[in-house]
Structure 1
């Protein structure tokens, strides 16, 4: 379902394009971030009521969304993304309610959800406050300061740590931080395609140059560490 109104588009085709969607799907289907999907699912299992309603805000092609739905068959799961190609890819999985829309204007009723999941996606207090039940949970996944250090060393002459302090400013006083954890996932990418897919699914792809391409072309494998910070907020 496409509910993205024309006046809410900032470009003709907002969000991830098909190339980025395909890169991310190939990479994730190889199981490189399976540990994150498992961790997120376990949090939802432990923290949510029976038969919960869960919204994946900025779901992309639906990797984490489908992982949640498969592991929690009693849950009703919704996936929303501003990218039409992403939702087209996700919609092959029929058990989830998919929607093309902006997470700043979600087309859901008030107090519709027991939980909102946001993995590397936009977080906004007002719409989250509107659609999340009182006492509901927000699970926010963001990069920790040393996320993908080896990949960034290839792309940038000077690598700066991610600014993790901003994560706690995404949600206002209507949401209370109840816990945060760090998850490290070792990556051993076996070939050049996996390296290209990892780069292609990140914002770093926009910073590539001829020099970066030369360094990438010289790689046949890559060892790196994905470092995530997982925050849980209570509404």
Structure 2
């Protein structure tokens, strides 16, 4: 027997973990057929694509994010820039089911799951191009195009929800978490990518950053909150500079990208860990 296709692997994976899923239209449970149809009792149906992902969107959405952005992001993360952050996150994870919300091309989730034995990684993003890249680069995980406002998951399902440098939906996070689950959110601190800020936005308000309001909202949303700051600087090879500019919104607003010269870059973030009780 030859190697299974990405679609066949995805079908088997979703069948094994079908209890995770609820119809984004009517919230009923879903079954997964051998042919790759994911269907609820009300006959709302979604197909697992040949690339090994599933699109749970009920209407088309135009994303501002391109294939090139996600492939640039994968290159930067694969370089090891976020290795220390990923190790710190993994150390806070126990349990099996990990959902990464706004997962992009899946690099954070895949690399964190490598460090958590027995974990099952599920990634969701509204941007189809991101999920296509995730399915291309990382086998063995469940990749979903979907909107958290009508998410395709059952209540009380996930041990951990990751929310890394992306917008949050705390009401939905609480619905999806198991009673003893946790949300791990990563938000920038003032030193995040400071070398880029200093060159691109010197003497402007964009040169500095504060996450005070984000931290306040997080603390209001969970009964118990831990905050851990991680700060480090790593060398950055010249070929990664244009990739970094491609992947970060800061880079989109720089007119003369060729003038940016970076030999190192700083990661400075808060890891917020929230539990419901």
> What is the TM-score of this pair, normalised by structure 1?
0.86
Any runs of at least 4 consecutive aligned residues in structure 1 with deviations exceeding 6 A, and if so which?
Answer: none
Kindly state the Cα deviation for residue 177 of structure 1 after the two structures are TM-superposed: 4.0
Pick from 112, 125, 133 the counterpart of residue 157 of structure 2. 112
Distance 2:189 2:219 in 1: 21
Distance 1:173 1:141 in 2: 16
Contact 2:233 2:267 survives alignment (8 Å): yes
Which structure 1 residue ranges, 5 or more long, are not aligned? Answer: none
Length, aligned pairs only: 220
Structure 1 residues 126, 15: closer, same or farther in 2, change over 3 A?
A: farther
Distance 1:71 1:229 in 2: 20
* 1:1-235 map, 5 Å: 1-6=54-59, 9=61, 12=62, 14=63, 16-44=65-93, 48-49=94-95, 52-92=96-136, 93-160=138-205, 161-171=208-218, 173-191=220-238, 193-209=239-255, 212-216=256-260, 219=261, 221-235=262-276
Structure 1 residues 42, 172: closer, same or farther in 2, change over 3 A?
A: closer
Contact 1:148 1:225 survives alignment (8 Å): yes
Kindly state the Cα deviation for residue 152 of structure 1 after the two structures are TM-superposed: 0.7
Contact 1:53 1:75 survives alignment (8 Å): yes
Distance 1:73 1:89 in 2: 24
Which structure 2 residue ranges, 5 or more long, are not aligned? Answer: 1-53
Distance 1:80 1:127 in 2: 13
- SS of 2:91's partner is helix
Distance 2:72 2:174 in 1: 33
Q: What is the Cα-based RMSD across aligned positions, in Å?
A: 1.8
Structure 1 residues 73, 84: closer, same or farther in 2, change over 3 A?
A: same
Kindly state the Cα deviation for residue 172 of structure 1 after the two structures are TM-superposed: 6.8
- SS of 2:257's partner is helix
Contact 2:219 2:225 survives alignment (8 Å): no
Structure showing greater Rg: 2
Distance 1:224 1:65 in 2: 22
Contact 1:55 1:115 survives alignment (8 Å): yes
| Deviation sequence 1:138-157 (CA, Å, 0-9, x none) | 00011111211110111113
- SS of 1:71's partner is coil
